[in-house]
Amino acid sequence: MEKVTMADVAKAAGVSKSTVSQYLNNRFEYMGEKTKQKIEEAIEALGYQPNYIARSLKQKRTSMVGIIVANIMHYFSTEVSRAIEDYCNHHDLHAIVCNADDDPEKEKKYIDMLRAKQVDGLIIFPTGQNNQLYENMIRQGYPVVFVDRKVQNLSVFSIVTDNRESTNRAIQQFVAKGHRRIAFAVQPLKVSTRTERFEGYQQAMKDAGLEINPDYVIESDIPGMKSKLEELFSLEERPTAIFAGNDRVFLEVVRCLRDKGLKIGQDIELVVFDNIPFAQVVETPVTFIIQPASEMGTKAAELLFEQINKVDREPEEFVFPSKLV
């Protein structure tokens, strides 16, 4: 199987390899009509399929870009990825996505692997724990765009949301509705998105003249969140409103509320940072902070494309606004 090469086609058509190559690359300018036809027939007859690997080796470009998402379980990641893929499709690139699973080791493994595979550039949702590695890439001038999370002290293109401000607004809204006991649940504060959201919460509470009750702040990974939430909702003075740091936290919160028999919108109000596709359909009275995922993805792809094509410009940070729904 899979053995017919350009040389075979050339032989069959009675021309040379280079001529076939010309043909394949649509350099018809100087090609005789009959040669063209002979080649066409030969290709058809032999069922020839070009070998991109060989071509890539020569051209030093693979027309592939890598996307490394921190965790594919977030709907936001898949939305952004989809937008990137769309952009790539329209620009003769192929995007291949890898899931770092919030694990810096895996992230490193994928970065190395993709670079070994010679992908032309990388869009990364960084775990934030591989600064040395990031730095090397940047220094070497390798095309990279960071998405979602900021990394300190790195001169690189990045695409983020106004995490602090939008969280702030959401909490303000709670306050305006008369809530005083406002809880905040989030995964470990190890990346910029989470710390910024937390800062937004703190700021809003402070501005409202409200003390933050430490019992109302849950910082835990997903597996451990359930038990902490249970404690929270078992408190004498239960919170009347809660902010869920992202979609996965949200799921835990909803599960826990259901188990406790608490009704969302009635016993407790809920804001979640991120879009939850299905939730919009059922009548759950939840406020969503929605990031413009596809615009962000498109922008990221654009910036990467520019870098791949050697457009030189100073790295910038693009902050997209998110909106409450």
Partner DNA sequence: TTGTAAGCGTTATCAG
Partner DNA sequence: CTGATAACGCTTACAA
Residues that bind a second copy (CB under 8 A): 1-2, 47, 49-54, 56-57, 62, 85, 94, 96-97, 99, 112-113, 115-118, 136, 140-142, 251, 254-255, 258, 276-279, 281-284
* Least distance from DNA to the Cβ atom of residue 232, Å: 54
Question: Structure tokens of 130?
Answer: 């591989």
Binding site partner of 309, from a second copy, DNA, none, Cβ cut-off 5-8 A by kind? none
Give the residue with the Cβ less far from DNA, 21 or 172: 21
Give the CA dihedral 218, 173, 277, 320, nearest 10 degrees. -90
* Least distance from DNA to the Cβ atom of residue 4, Å: 8
Distances (CA, A) of 125 to 73, 82, 176, 188: 13, 14, 34, 16
60-316-276 Cα angle (round to 5):
90
6 binds DNA (CB under 7 A): yes
7 binds DNA (CB under 7 A): yes
Among 20-28, 96-104, 151-159, 181-189, which window interacts with DNA (CB under 7 A)?
20-28
54 binds DNA (CB under 7 A): yes
The Cβ-side half-sphere exposure at 72, using a 13 Å CA radius, reads 11
Question: Judging by beta carbons within 10 Å of its beta carbon (0-12, 13-18, 19+), is residue 124 exposed, middle or buried?
Answer: buried
Binding site partner of 47, from a second copy, DNA, none, Cβ cut-off 5-8 A by kind? a second copy
Site string for DNA, 57-96 (x = CB under 7 A): xxxx------------------------------------
CB 241 within 8 A of CB 185: no
Phi and psi at 54, nearest 5°, equal -60, -45
CB 68 within 8 A of CB 125: yes
30 binds DNA (CB under 7 A): yes
Give every CB contact of residue 105 below 8 A, 6+ residues apart in sequence: none
Among 14-22, 179-187, 198-206, 249-257, which window interacts with DNA (CB under 7 A)?
14-22
Bridge partners, residue 264, by sequence: 268
Give the residue with the Cβ less far from DNA, 28 or 284: 28
The Cβ-side half-sphere exposure at 189, using a 13 Å CA radius, reads 10
Give the residue with the Cβ less far from DNA, 37 or 89: 37
What's the longest Cα–Cα distance across the chain? 88
Binding site partner of 142, from DNA, a second copy, none, Cβ cut-off 5-8 A by kind? a second copy
* Least distance from a second copy to the Cβ atom of residue 162, Å: 26
* Least distance from a second copy to the Cβ atom of residue 244, Å: 13
Binding site for DNA (CB under 7 A): 3, 5-7, 14-19, 21-22, 24-25, 29-32, 34-35, 48, 50-51, 54-55, 57-60
